[in-house]
Amino acid sequence: MRVIVLAFAALALSWSCAQPPSGTRVVVTLEVPLSAPADPGDALAERRYAKAIADAQDQLLQELRPYDTQLLTRYRNLPQLALVVDPAALRHLRESPLVTAVQEDTPGSPPS
């Protein structure tokens, strides 16, 4: 009997972990104070740009702490984040000066 209960508990836990996150999936484009490096061979400019992206991402994620959000993807070389957000967080994103665009992330949606 205990084996059945443990097996059921393990199955229920794995099922709950596999559930898709609730909310709206979005790709958020961030305002970054630097432009992408013109010369792809300029390693210093690339590092500065990557740091500016990471700083902007950190700042937005900090702003979103009071809301029900889930980070799906943090892009290293693009000023974007893929998130799942509740309606209040979505409203905040649309009003944030840190954000230049919010696009619903649906199958077949064009990249931003």
pTM of the predicted protein model: 0.75
Q: Average pLDDT of 70-88? A: 96
Average pLDDT over the chain reads: 84
Structural domains of the chain, count:
1
pLDDT tens profile 52-69 = 999 999 999 999 999 999
| Residue 35 located in a structural domain | yes
- How many percent of the chain have pLDDT more than 70? 77
The confidence score (pLDDT) of residue 39 equals 85
Domain assignment of residue 68, given as a range: 21-104
Q: Look at residue 27 and tell me whether its pLDDT is greater than 60.
A: yes
110 pLDDT tier (thresholds 50, 70, 90): low
100 within 8 A of 30, measured Cβ to Cβ: yes
| Residue 8 located in a structural domain | no
| Residue 111 located in a structural domain | no
- How many percent of the chain have pLDDT more than 90? 63
| Residue 34 located in a structural domain | yes
pLDDT tens profile 12-22 = 444 444 455 57
